[in-house]
Amino acid sequence: MSWRVSFAMARKLKTFTTSLGFFDLAVAAPSMKAALEAWGISRNLFHQGLAEETTDPDTIAAAMEKPGVVLRRAVGTQNPFREQADLPKSLPIHAPKQKRPEKRAVRKKTVQRNDPAADKAAIIKFEEAKARREKERRREENERAREQAAAEREDEHRQKAVAKAELALHRARARHEENLARLEKERQDLDKRLEAERQRWRDAEEKLYAKIRKASS
């Protein structure tokens, strides 16, 4: 037996209830802290008056059947608590109050347990349910970690692809500017050659006209 079970056996399980979203929640746990942990809630709902230990015998009986397992029912209803519950068909205007027994004797009859073996079995069930929650939580955390790692790898690949494309653009722009500079120089040289050819033709044409004029006179 683990030390956690041994310690928990000194505190008999109690049934705690609260409301969260569309559901009333119930759980059999050794303490308020354990109940909050089972519900996955960090703030103290008990101090805020939003959670309490129930004395409803039906709720206690259902929770004690599955210690540590969070049971649900549609908020605003008196349906039995179950692991899986349907959404409410309509929502109450005010939050429903916890059902309480009319006589104190009912609480004593339901909550008090004189069978150590039953108490031990209930605690062991609670610890098993807690272990299952921890295993599921670790599985979800590992899944989120894998998804995050995959997203980071994808982002890294994307950044590398962008950097590669930007480098290719930079190199292409540099080649383009080099080609433009070369063509501009060639154009300037060609302009000079064109102007030289025009000037040569003007001089040659003038000489030829002079010969024509001389021959005609």
More confident residue, 7 or 13: 13
* Tens of pLDDT, residues 103-143: 443 444 444 445 667 667 777 778 788 788 888 888 888 98
pLDDT for the residue 32: 92
Query: Which pLDDT band, with edges at 50, 70 and 90, does 25 fall under?
Result: very high
More confident residue, 85 or 52: 52
Q: Where are the beta strands (DSSP E) in 54-211?
A: 71-74
**Sign (positive or negative) of CA dihedral 5, 6, 7, 12:** positive
User: Percent of the chain having pLDDT more than 70?
Assistant: 82
**At 99, which amino acid appears?**
K
* Tens of pLDDT, residues 88-105: 776 555 544 544 434 443
Give me the torsion for CA of 170, 174, 177, 178, rounded to 10°. Answer: -170
pLDDT for the residue 136: 84
pLDDT for the residue 91: 58
pLDDT for the residue 125: 78
Give the integer Cα–Cα distance in Å for 58 and 60. Answer: 5
Does the structure show a pLDDT above 80 at 27? yes
- If you average pLDDT over residues 40-58, what whole number do you get? 91
User: How high is the mean pLDDT of the chain?
Assistant: 82
Does the structure show a pLDDT above 80 at 50? yes
Task: Tell me the two tokens of residue 68.
Answer: 């540590």
- If you average pLDDT over residues 55-61, what whole number do you get? 92
The model's pTM is 0.47
Residue 28 backbone dihedrals phi, psi, to 5 degrees: -95, 120
* Tens of pLDDT, residues 144-195: 889 999 999 999 999 999 999 999 999 999 999 999 999 999 999 999 999 9
pLDDT for the residue 92: 55
Give the integer Cα–Cα distance in Å for 127 and 109. Answer: 25
